[in-house]
Structure 1
C-alpha cells in the first residue's frame, strides 16, 4: 500500500495548472470540490479540471484529507474503460489538488431521459447495461465505487443516437482487499445499501444495491426507500420497506421487477453479483431490441407517463438539494483557515508562555500580598505619626500665633518706652543746658571773689572745694527729682573739671 501511495504522490505536479491549461466556466460542484471546463494550451484539447480543496490541518473538518485524494488518484490511474471517466493529469498547489479529467459534457442520464417523449424498457436496459459494464470493470479489479447515484451517471455526448454512459466521482471509491474488514458510513442516503446503514463490513455488493435503486427509479419515476426525512429513508432501507406500487409498475415487465428485487436483497450473499446482473434474462432479452414505434397509442401514452414521472422525480430531486456553495465558501475563507492553522501553532507556544507567565504572576501576587500586608502595617504607623505631627503642628501654629501676639504687644510697649526715653532725653538735654548755664554763672561768681592763699576761715580746704561739693549734692538731688534717678549712672559731675573746661 505504501508503494502505491508513493506512486500516486509522485504523480502530483507541483506546478500551477494555469500555466498549462486555460480554465473556463464551472460545470458543477460538490461539498469540497468544483469542476470547471479547461483547455490544454499545448494541444487545444478540452478537459474537465476538478479542484479538490485540501484539508489544511488534522483538527480541521473542512476539505478532503490528503490520503483520500491520493486514494482517488490511485484508483483513477488504474482505470481505462469506455464507460468510466479517465484521468489525464494531476496538479497540486498550496490549497488544492487539481485533477485533469476526461470532459463529460452530455449531462446527467436522468435529465436526458426525462426530456425524451417516451421511454421503453428496451431503451432503459441499453443504459443499465452500460452502467453494469462500467461497474463490472471496477469489480473485476476489486474496486467498489460506493457512490453510484443519478448525479454520478453522466453522458459523454447526448447528441448521438445512443449516448455513452460515463461513471464519474471516485471520491468514495475503495479497493476491497481480501481478509481486510472495511466499514464506513458514507454515500447518499437514498442509494446506500443496508450494510452501510447498519455499519457492517462492506464489499462490492453495496454497488449492486445502488444499481437496483437506480433501475427502480428509471422505470417508475419513484424512489423505493425515500422518506420524509433522512432518518425515515435509512429506516426504510434497513427494513427493506419498498414495494412495486401498481400506480408506477402496472406496465413494467416481471423480469424487470425481478431484476430489481434480486438487487434490493438485504442479504448481500443472495444479492446479484455484477456478472449475474449482466447475464440476467431481463438484460439479455432486451439487449438487441429496439422500441417499436408502431405500438398502439395507449401504450405510447403510458410510456409518456413514465417519462413524465421521471421528469417530476428529477425536478424534485434537484430542487430538494440545497445549493451547494461549500467550495465557494471554502475558497473565500481559505486564507482564514490557513491563518487559523498558523495561529494554532502560535497558541501552543503562547499556552506554554502563559503557563510560565502564570507562575510568575502567582509569585508576584504572593510577593504583592506580603508587601501589601507590610505596607498596611507601615501605613498605620505612618498615619499615627502623621496624626502626631499634625497635632504638634497645630500646637506650634497656636504657639506661633501667641508669640506673634506677644511680639506685637512687646512692639507696642517698646514704642511706648522709646517715646518715654525720647521725652527723658529731651528733658535731660534741657536740664544739662540749664545746668551748664548755672555752672557758667557760678564760675563767673567764683571768679569775682578774692582768693585767700592761706585758706581764709576754712582751715585745711579751699573755698572752691567746699563749694563744688555743695553744688554736686544740690545737682544730684535736683536730677533725682527731675529724672527719677534713671539717668544718674551715666552722669559724673566734676565742677572742678567743669571749671577747667
Structure 2
C-alpha cells in the first residue's frame, strides 16, 4: 500500500479511469445497501485483490448513496494505516456513479464463523484472537483514529487454513480521526455494539471502540449478546442502563479474569473504561495458563463450548440488515421520546375506534352502492359490445360480397378489354383495305379522265367523271359501312 500523509477530505483525488481497464472483475464477495465487494485480479501483475464499489450520492438532497465527503474520509484514513491486523488499500478509482477501492483480499471469512465451526474453544485461543484485535485497534488509537464500527462482521481472517489465523480489521466507512479540542458527535454504528455515548448523542472518542471490544469478547466466550433485546429500542435501552450479567448458563466455564476484562470494558463512564493500552496489559491478555483458577492449574485448560456461538452466528446471518456500515441510526437518538409518542398515539387510536368503525361502515355502504352501479354499467357495456360484434360481422359479410363483386367486374372488364383490342385490330385492317380501294378508284378515275379528254372535247368526260365518282362513293359508303356495323355487333 502507498503511504500518504493525512490531507483534508476535499483534497482527495481518485483516478478518473475505468477500473476494468486495469483489473479483471470477478465474483461477488459481499454487498450492502450502498456498496458491493467483488474479487478482482490485477492485469499487470496477476495479483488478486478485493474491489469495493461504493455508490456515490448524486445530490445533497438524495438519501441514496454515500456522500463524497464520507468516501474521501474513509480513503484518507486507509491511506494512513499500515499494520498486519488492518486491511490495506492498494488503489482508488472513480467513475460517474462509483468510487472503487482496491483493497487487500481477505479470504478467510469472519472470525466468528471460523470459531463456530470448532467443537470447542479454550480461553488461550480466545485471548490470542482478542489480542490481535487489540493490536490493530492500538495502532489506530495511537494515530487518534477511532473505528466506530467494530463488530464480528468486520473482524475477518486473512487465511483460515492455519491453526491461529491472522486477523484483519476491515470496513472503515465510519472511522474518524479524533482531534484534540474538537467535539465530535454522531449517531451511527450497529445498535448491538455501540457505546452508551453514541446512543445518548454525547461527545465521542476512542473509548467507543473499547466498549465494542467488550461486547465482542462477551459474545466470543458465551455465544450470547449482553445487551441484545427483542427490538432495537430495547437493545439501546439496555446499553444506556448497562443492563447485563454473567449468566451461569453461559459463563460456568469462563474464568474470573475473563469476566473482569469484560467488566472493565463495559463501563458507562468513558473515563473509567479501559484504554487500549490498559486492555493490552490486563492479566487475562498478558497471561496464558495463569488465566485459570488455582485449582485448574494442574488440569487441562477449560474448553468453552461453541454451540451457542454457532447459533448466534446463524441467527445474525439470517437477520442481518443489508449494509450495517452505512445505516444511520439517527431515529434511535430519542428512543424514549419516540416510545412515549407511540404510546400516546395508541391511546388516541383507541379513543377514535368508534368513529373509525362508523367510517368503515359508511365506506362499505358506498362500496356496495358503487359495486351495484359498476355491475349495471358492466352489463350495459357487455350488451353494447355484443351489438358491436354483430355489426362487425355484418360489415365483414358485406365486405366479402363486395370483394366478390369487384372480382367479377374485374373479370368482365378484362373480357371487354380483350374484345376492344380485337376490334381495334379489325378496324385497322379495314382502314388499310379502304385506303387501298380508294387509291385504286382514284387511279381508275384518273385514267377515265384522260381517255375522255382525248375523245370528247365538249365536257362529256367531266360529266362522266362526276357521275362515276358519285356512284363509286355511294358504293363504297354502302359496302364498307355495312361491314363495319356488322363487325361492331358484339
**TM-score bin, normalised by smaller chain:** 0.5 to 0.7
1:366-422 CA-partner distances (Å, limit 9, x unpaired): xxxxxxxxxxxxxxxxxxxxxxxxxxxxxxxxxxxxxxxxxxxxxxxxxxxxxxxxx
1:137 aligned partner = 139
1:220 aligned partner = 222
2:250 aligned partner = 248
1:59 aligned partner = 61
1:54-99 CA-partner distances (Å, limit 9, x unpaired): 0000110000000100000000000000000000000000000000
1:116 aligned partner = 118
1:35 aligned partner = 37
Q: Secondary structure at the match of 2:306?
A: helix
Call closer, same or farther: CA 1:6–1:132 in 2, change over 3 Å: closer
1:318 aligned partner = 317
Cα distance in 1 for partners of 2:78, 2:162 equals 26
2:80 aligned partner = 78
Call closer, same or farther: CA 1:17–1:285 in 2, change over 3 Å: same
Are residues 1:5 and 2:4 paired? no
Call closer, same or farther: CA 1:41–1:256 in 2, change over 3 Å: same
Cα distance in 1 for partners of 2:289, 2:322 equals 39
Call closer, same or farther: CA 1:269–1:289 in 2, change over 3 Å: closer
Call closer, same or farther: CA 1:8–1:314 in 2, change over 3 Å: farther
Q: Secondary structure at the match of 2:127?
A: helix
Q: Secondary structure at the match of 1:4?
A: coil
Q: Secondary structure at the match of 1:61?
A: coil
Cα distance in 2 for partners of 1:133, 1:264 equals 19
Cα distance in 2 for partners of 1:147, 1:326 equals 7
1:20-77 CA-partner distances (Å, limit 9, x unpaired): 0000000011221000000000000000000000000011000000010000000000
Q: Which deviates more from structure 2 when the two are superposed, residues 267-276 or residues 281-290?
A: 281-290
Using the size of structure 1 for normalisation, the TM-score is 0.61
Are residues 1:169 and 2:171 paired? yes
1:291-342 CA-partner distances (Å, limit 9, x unpaired): x9x9679x65xx3xx2001000000111122466999xxxxxxxxxxxxxxx
Cα distance in 2 for partners of 1:296, 1:287 equals 9
| Superposed displacement of residue 3, structure 1 | 8.1
1:265-298 CA-partner distances (Å, limit 9, x unpaired): 00000000000000000000129999x9x9679x
1:346-366 CA-partner distances (Å, limit 9, x unpaired): xxxxxxxxxxxxxxxxxxxxx
Q: How many residues align?
A: 318
Are residues 1:308 and 2:311 paired? no
Call closer, same or farther: CA 1:65–1:187 in 2, change over 3 Å: same
Q: How does 1:232-271 map to 2 (within 5 A)?
A: 232-271=234-273
2:453 aligned partner = none
Call closer, same or farther: CA 1:259–1:296 in 2, change over 3 Å: closer
1:48 aligned partner = 50
| Superposed displacement of residue 13, structure 1 | 0.1
Q: Residues 151 and 212 of structure 2 are in contact (CA less than 8 Å); yes or no, is this contact kept in structure 1?
A: yes
Call closer, same or farther: CA 1:268–1:83 in 2, change over 3 Å: same
Name stretches of at least 5 consecutive residues in structure 2 with no aligned partner: 327-490
Using the size of structure 2 for normalisation, the TM-score is 0.62
1:476 aligned partner = none
Q: Residues 259 and 280 of structure 1 are in contact (CA less than 8 Å); yes or no, is this contact kept in structure 2?
A: yes
Cα distance in 1 for partners of 2:171, 2:262 equals 24
Cα distance in 1 for partners of 2:75, 2:323 equals 23
| Superposed displacement of residue 162, structure 1 | 1.3
Q: Residues 219 and 252 of structure 1 are in contact (CA less than 8 Å); yes or no, is this contact kept in structure 2?
A: yes
Q: How does 1:141-220 map to 2 (within 5 A)?
A: 141-220=143-222
Cα distance in 2 for partners of 1:198, 1:289 equals 35
Call closer, same or farther: CA 1:252–1:79 in 2, change over 3 Å: same
Call closer, same or farther: CA 1:197–1:7 in 2, change over 3 Å: closer
1:443-466 CA-partner distances (Å, limit 9, x unpaired): xxxxxxxxxxxxxxxxxxxxxxxx
Cα distance in 2 for partners of 1:130, 1:323 equals 27
2:130 aligned partner = 128
Cα distance in 1 for partners of 2:177, 2:97 equals 27
Alignment equivalent of 1:281, drawn from 283, 294, 302: 283
Cα distance in 1 for partners of 2:98, 2:299 equals 54
| Superposed displacement of residue 5, structure 1 | 2.9
1:173-227 CA-partner distances (Å, limit 9, x unpaired): 0000000000000000000000000000000000000000000000000000000
Q: Residues 23 and 38 of structure 1 are in contact (CA less than 8 Å); yes or no, is this contact kept in structure 2?
A: yes
Cα distance in 2 for partners of 1:289, 1:326 equals 35
